[in-house]
Chains A and B, each alone.
Chain A
Amino acid sequence: MTAAKPKTLYDKIWDAHLVEEAEDGTALLYIDRHLVHEVTSPQAFEGLREAGRAVRAPGRTIAVPDHNVPTDPDRAAKLDSNEESRIQLEALDRNARDFGVHYYPVDDIRQGIVHIIGPEQGWTLPGMTVVCGDSHTATHGAFGALAHGIGTSEVEHVLATQTLITSKSKNMKVQVDGTLPPGVTAKDIVLSIIAKTGTAGGTGHVIEYCGEAIRSLSMEGRMTVCNMAIEGGARAGLIAPDETTFDYVRGRTHAPKGAQWEAAMAWWQTLHSDEGAHFDKVVTLDAAEITPVVTWGTSPEDALPITGAVPDPASFEGGKVDSAKRALEYMGLKAGTRLQDIAVDTVFIGSCTNGRIEDLREVARVMEGRRVKDGIRAMIVPGSGLVRAQAEEEGIAQKLQEAGFEWRQAGCSMCLGMNPDQLAPGERCAATSNRNFEGRQGRGGRTHLMSPAMAAAAAVTGRLTDVRELA
């Protein structure tokens, strides 16, 4: 008997969800969890109605409004302030009820950013397939679930059939060995990876993040890393489940219980890449060399250690020369300027990348005995109503408000500025979100991506700051 061919984690999850696969590689993949939000779903539900189709598995479908909900402390009074947003929120409400899917309305304490509440409620489990009409669905890969974004036509396809027509991606391994130095966090790891591989480095691949530095991250940190797999071009990022994962999942509302938990654990413990499994691409980083990083440009790959300076566009190659020139012009920066000399107007802490309780605790740690600098607008937008409540219970919310932060309701908020939380033209923001694209946080707004600790440090000094040197 010959030994079975070693498989990657991705291979195993893929095989477990194949309904069928044609000879040309076109596959019908079963979807365990479908997350739905108000922006990319209305056209899909409308398509079902027009064709007289039902949702095949409403029990596997979870809807929540997050992208354009107001995050003002008194938001119930603000829901009508934008006509288009109101219509979109009403459409989700109607669609969720008409089609009978799980639903967390805006006034439910469990409401929040779709990628925060999926894990929080125990919907996201190891070995699952998870899709959502949102590219940051990659977040759920932190549980060893194959999770990726899809377009609205595919949302309609999954609603109608609970499957996705797709083909298998290649396997890529990103190995981060060693131990992270003090002051360096999951966000610094993932920005450093993207700086190394580029925003298209993972295109056509599913990334598995491995190595000691990844293993030692909390679930919150792992979610930060997988969340930004898409910024490195990979539709999905994965981390093999382990005790950290199981401890997080155990006891959550929709996690299995009793005998089912035991059965699930037996399978989950097989979910790791086998010794000798083939990866098409391997990238290795040494955690000891990772420093706190910030972005200077308009692509997440434009990340540098905070100790560095704005690069000269001439130092790049090919099409990147022009794009760096354009980025510096857009960002209002000159080559050679020390990153730590860049002053900011706004600090945004939140998003599906860094809006979890651990992120807020990190901010509170940095702010201990410190205040937001006068004149800086600093806002904290918890990722869910439950994160918000927990931070209030731990006393973090009160401390941060006393330190000068705005304390807001849960939602995507200024990560993409679909609600009123936007930058004005030319405004500069230290942001814990995931994209620094032109206009992302508001037309003409300038975004520098960084970790929650680094964003807190920027709030204290009013400029990009090395959190390790904060006096």
Chain B
Amino acid sequence: MDKFDKLTGIAAPLPMVNVDTDMIIPKQYLKTIKRSGLGKALFDEMRYLDDGSENPDFVLNQPAWRDSEILVAGENFGCGSSREHAPWALKDFGIRCVIAPSYADIFYNNCFKNGILPIALPQAEVDALMEEARKGANARLAVDLEAQTVTTTDGREIRFEIDPFRKHCLLNGLDDIALTLEKAPAIASYEDRVAAERPWV
């Protein structure tokens, strides 16, 4: 798993609520058997016009935000489908951190498996950061996972909360399958117990 510790980058404003994973990456890109190369498909329907050319109105096509590494969005980000292609596409594009008031559960989980930090902040803070983000390349946000802070260009520090185990895994880029495999004896003893108690399972 990829590490995440610190990031200073351009933040793109996406002031929409309920951004669903179909919107983040539509179905025609789910036919891949790989995890890589999905950045070009990120936000496909908003990002490209019907003839396949870039939609100049979409934020990530505008010069100031083409190299964004942070996305600031509205509440319930990542709702809908469980497709991990959504964080794969974000990451392949270069987005390593999302800031929003709230997330759908499965998307939130999927981010951590891919070295992406989803930060949840109160609506008022997100609104303020959205304004910052509108300044484009002139306003870079600094994210520090260890300190759990987002810092604006004028030095204002905003603290965010995060589950300690997820933080630990992300900071160290831990492979959670390897971690769990170390617990094989506990899993085996659970299986033995259940085989006796609920043999029909």
Binding site for B on A (CB under 8 A): 16, 19-20, 22, 24, 26, 28, 30, 32, 39-40, 42-43, 46, 51, 53, 56, 67-68, 82, 84-85, 87-88, 91, 125, 127-128, 133-135, 148-154, 156-157, 160-163, 165, 167, 169, 199-200, 203-204, 230, 233, 235, 256, 260-261, 263-264, 267, 299, 318-320, 322-323, 326, 416-418, 425, 435, 437-440, 443
With A51-B177, A135-B106, A165-B176 given, is the CB distance from A438 to B187 under 8 Å? no
Binding site for A on B (CB under 8 A): 15-18, 20, 22-23, 26-28, 30-35, 45, 50, 74-76, 79-84, 87, 102-106, 109-110, 113-114, 163-165, 176-177, 180-181, 183-184, 186-187, 190-191, 194, 198-201
Closest to B32 in A: A84
Q: A19-B190, A165-B180 are in contact. List 18 more A-B contacts (CB 8 A).
A: A40-B84, A46-B33, A150-B109, A152-B35, A160-B180, A161-B177, A161-B187, A199-B76, A203-B103, A233-B104, A261-B200, A263-B198, A322-B15, A322-B16, A416-B81, A435-B81, A438-B45, A443-B26
Query: Across the interface, do B33 and A19 meet the contact criterion of CB distance under 8 Å?
Result: no
Chain B residues with Cβ under 8 A from A156's Cβ? 177
Partner among A16, A39, A153, A200 whose Cβ is within 8 Å of the Cβ of B113: A153
B163 to chain A, nearest CB (A): 7
Query: Across the interface, do B180 and A28 meet the contact criterion of CB distance under 8 Å?
Result: yes
B56 to chain A, nearest CB (A): 18
Query: Across the interface, do A20 and B186 meet the contact criterion of CB distance under 8 Å?
Result: yes
Query: Across the interface, do A128 and B177 meet the contact criterion of CB distance under 8 Å?
Result: no
Chain B residues with Cβ under 8 A from A326's Cβ? 16
Query: Across the interface, do A438 and B17 meet the contact criterion of CB distance under 8 Å?
Result: no
With A199-B76, A203-B102 given, is the CB distance from A32 to B201 under 8 Å? yes
Chain B residues with Cβ under 8 A from A148's Cβ? 106
Bound Cα distance A42, B199 (Å): 31
Chain A residues with Cβ under 8 A from B31's Cβ? 39, 68, 82, 84-85, 87-88, 418
Query: Across the interface, do A88 and B22 meet the contact criterion of CB distance under 8 Å?
Result: no
A149 to chain B, nearest CB (A): 4
Chain A residues with Cβ under 8 A from B80's Cβ? 135, 230, 435, 437
Bound Cα distance A264, B197 (Å): 10
Query: Across the interface, do B105 and A235 meet the contact criterion of CB distance under 8 Å?
Result: yes
